[in-house]
Chain A
Amino acid sequence: MKQRPFIGWFVSPAALVALGLAAAMAAILQYSVRAYVPGSLDVGGLTLENFTALLRPLYAWAFWGTILLCLLTATFTLFLAYPVAYALVRVRSKALKSFILIASVTPLFLGEVVRTYSWMIVLGNNGFINSVLKSLGIIDRPLQMMFTTPGVVAALVHVTMPIMVIMLAAGLSHIDRNYEKAAESLGASPVRCFLTVTLPLSMPGIVAGFSTAFAWTFSAFATPQLIGGGKVNTVSTLVYQLGFASFNFPFAASLSLAGLVMTFAVIALMKRAMRPVERLGEQ
């Protein structure tokens, strides 16, 4: 249609919101190249010091650690979420389908604080796991899980599970079952059929889910802050400390900016790296 009725009404509010977001990002960019004035909320002149400071061991290690944490979490999440998504899409009973859906999606809507708090009770020295292990006589001194990387990863996997399940299931639900039936009729074993048909076809969902899980883990703050307890430093916890403990907003901005660039770079890389897997089915 040549006429586009209401296009102004439809687009301008969204454009305003986009402008707000763009302005916030521009503000970060601007602060990241300004000098820190200790003891003041105002900033000084132009400088690249905030970026050279990123290379200091504490921050370089935290950066590296965060990337590892994100990769680890996204990988575990993928392996745990795939069977659930598969079951969700393929299970016949409507009631069972609803149960799986609600059980796996509810955590998404609980927010980071409630979920992190729950994990503190599960992982704590007097928590669920230690109590069970103690009463079974497997351990006599509590296992230290709070303030450790594995503890943080466990809680983070729980945070990213729902979105991964949704994205994988969305991809799987659009795969025609007849492809699998055709493969099986041609003599492919269930495992072979899965590896050569289902898995390659669900690749877009996997890439989308993995990228999102990566980004969400990078974004997580309450979990590494509370379960890491200062022993597990991530970009998010450092940004918060720089901002609200030392009021060094310029440095917080440069750290955020570096994190943002890295997130986009990793997601782009991931999409490239996963391309060969999509071609698995052709061999």
Chain B
Amino acid sequence: MLTRTDIATPTSLPAEKPVVQLDGVTKRFGEAIALHEAWLKIVPGEFMTLLGPSGCGKTTLLNLIAGFLDADGGEIFIDGILVTETPAHKREIGIVFQNYALFPHMTVANNIAYGLKTRGIGADEIKRRVDEALALVKLDGFGDRKPRQLSGGQQQRVALARALVIRPKVLLLDEPFSALDKNLRASMQIELKEIQQRLGVTTIFVTHDQGEALSMSDRIAVMSAGRIRQIAAPQDIYRRPQDRFVASFIGDANVLKGKLSAVTDAVAQVTVGSLSVEVPAAPLAGLAAGADVDLFVRPEHLVPVDGDGGPAAPSLAGTVRTQVFQGGHVDLYIDLGEHAAQPVLLRSSAALAPSKWQTGDVVRVRPVSADLVAFPKQDG
């Protein structure tokens, strides 16, 4: 089981030299702490996502790595070199902004060439590398256009080419998809991931969209209120959230009112009504048997029990409150009475519903997964 200290150095991490390393980096804006002692190691070629709601400190963290902000505490290393005091233009990082920030007074080719010119590279070499970069993002022949003559997707490719052409030590992406419409977004995500893997460029991606984060990342750092809450692979973040915030921010979660019945080193027993389930003990550290806990159950891990309920399967009785047709499935909201403060959500195949249940029907449900977690009961 993971412990608190493991957050900073997960055991799953290969023993390579990190490309980016943050040692207790802190940033304040006046009285407010925007980032509280961030510890982070990013290995070569890794796609690391900083995920969290707006104001969680993820953009601050990105700006600190880029050198646009100065840290109030802690150290930042890029490629093993201490860069805490290094100005942005000497850090050798590539960045793609939310609005792309293409220079409106330069052609596409000159935008891409900008970083090469600052490095004093010869004209022939610049031309070759610009053409190469344009080909990489499938924009051959667009070099002479001005940014405003391009579509949103094309502008993003130019921004990516401009950031990659300087062969940065690390690529920073600041919500790059938020300005694109839904269909384009999906195809750009696949393309970006492809390019990233082909070049093997270490990437830090900032987003508030958990779908993007789960589908693209090697690892995700979930942030909230200026703190990194958990760093882990997408599956682990989803299945084994380490704290209450992560559990409720990533994916949907039903919260059941349970009681801690027994604790061992690794595993704890939680009972809800006649149900008894096993959860990891770590998040409940310090609680004694009999304490109130909140049991988190994903909607897809909650299933209806047919008939009167078989003798082998203990379950909870509830009343169907609302059904919401979602196309491929139906969202069923079930009132569990004393066992949950809010009606719980479960997903049923659209083929069964709505004929199978009517609003007001009594239905029995039970959780069917090993991936359940519980946290100390929260007041209110």
Contact = CB atoms under 8 A, between A and B. Distances in A.
Same complex: yes
Interface of A: 1-3
A2 B87 CA distance: 9
B208 to A, nearest CB: 26
A234 B87 CA distance: 58
A278 to B, nearest CB: 28
Contacts of B70: 1-2
Interface string B37-81: 000000000000000000000000000000011100000000000
A2 B69 CA distance: 8
A45 B193 CA distance: 83
Range of interface residues on B (Cβ < 8 Å): under 10
A3 B87 CA distance: 8
A3 B68 CA distance: 11
Interface of B: 68-70, 87
B71 to A, nearest CB: 10
5 contacts: A1-B68, A1-B69, A1-B70, A2-B70, A3-B87
A3 B69 CA distance: 10
Contacts of B69: 1
A16 to B, nearest CB: 29
A206 to B, nearest CB: 33
A7 to B, nearest CB: 15
A1 B68 CA distance: 7
Nearest to B67: A1
Contacts of A2: 70
B25 to A, nearest CB: 15
Contacts of A3: 87
Nearest to A3: B87
Contacts of A1: 68-70
B65 to A, nearest CB: 15
B90 to A, nearest CB: 12
Nearest to A5: B87
Nearest to A1: B70
Nearest to B70: A2
A2 B68 CA distance: 10
A35 B68 CA distance: 59
A2 B72 CA distance: 11
A204 B127 CA distance: 54
A1 B70 CA distance: 6
A5 to B, nearest CB: 9
Nearest to B88: A1
A3 to B, nearest CB: 6
Nearest to B87: A3
Contacts of B68: 1
A47 B11 CA distance: 85
A263 B79 CA distance: 62
Per CB-CB distance, the 5 closest pairs between chain A and chain B, nearest first, are: A2-B70, A3-B87, A1-B70, A1-B68, A1-B69
B100 to A, nearest CB: 22
A31 B87 CA distance: 52
Contacts of B87: 3
A3 B90 CA distance: 14
A2 B67 CA distance: 10
A6 to B, nearest CB: 14
A3 B70 CA distance: 9
Nearest to A2: B70
A234 to B, nearest CB: 48
B118 to A, nearest CB: 15
A221 B359 CA distance: 83
A2 B70 CA distance: 7
A239 B69 CA distance: 54
A144 to B, nearest CB: 60
A13 B58 CA distance: 40
Nearest to B69: A1
A122 B8 CA distance: 82
B128 to A, nearest CB: 33
A3 B88 CA distance: 11
B233 to A, nearest CB: 35
A1 B87 CA distance: 9
A3 B85 CA distance: 10
Nearest to B68: A1
B92 to A, nearest CB: 18
A4 to B, nearest CB: 12
B216 to A, nearest CB: 31
A58 B294 CA distance: 86
A176 B70 CA distance: 37
A2 B27 CA distance: 13
A161 to B, nearest CB: 36
A118 to B, nearest CB: 42
A124 B335 CA distance: 89
A1 B89 CA distance: 13
A1 B64 CA distance: 10
B253 to A, nearest CB: 37
B29 to A, nearest CB: 14
A277 B68 CA distance: 43
A182 B70 CA distance: 44
